[in-house]
Structure 1
Amino acid sequence: MGFVSWLAIYFIIWWVVLFAVLPFGVRSQEEAGDRIEPGSMPGAPSRPLMLRKVFATTVVAAVVTAAVYWVITYSGLTLDDIPMPVGFTSESYS
């Protein structure tokens, strides 16, 4: 696979990891005891800490992408080795 393919895989993994990391450490305005801003929900985060989460997402996504790269490149595992449900074969896409 080329560089652009790996960049696309990293991008997809990055978004999946971001949505997994977003809820970590979030405290609502109500839980934190902050003044609830008019027009906002009491459950809205008081400090979302997005920069920290983006950094953690970038690091975790890089590690996961490196693991995927290793599995595909050095273990010899291909998509044909993964069992598919009945009716889904690689020949049906040709």
Structure 2
Amino acid sequence: MDTRIQVFETEKIKNEIGEEKEVNTVLCIPWAKVVEIAGGEETEGKILHRIQRNFIIRWRGEINQKSNQLKLDYQGRIYFVSHVKQIGRREFLELQTFVNE
């Protein structure tokens, strides 16, 4: 685990006049091991470059519970968490992520 990532969730809050605003709340800034999974292009009306990466971090209860509601920042790029898989008995978590460009 040699890379720092930032794991956060996006919450919608209302201001004084009732407008909803999205606010990112940082849950943790763990060390992670980055595993390259795949990269490719998809066409859905336009060409999208899709990158899939897995990040292995030490086990954290709040990350395990919130699972696919999370996002993470790695090298200035925001990845969406699609699945969280537990490795071992509360030892590590594997965050399976993707980003479309």
What TM-score does the superposition give when structure 2 sets the normalisation length?
A: 0.21
Q: Which has the larger radius of gyration?
A: 1
More helix by share: 1
More strand by share: 2
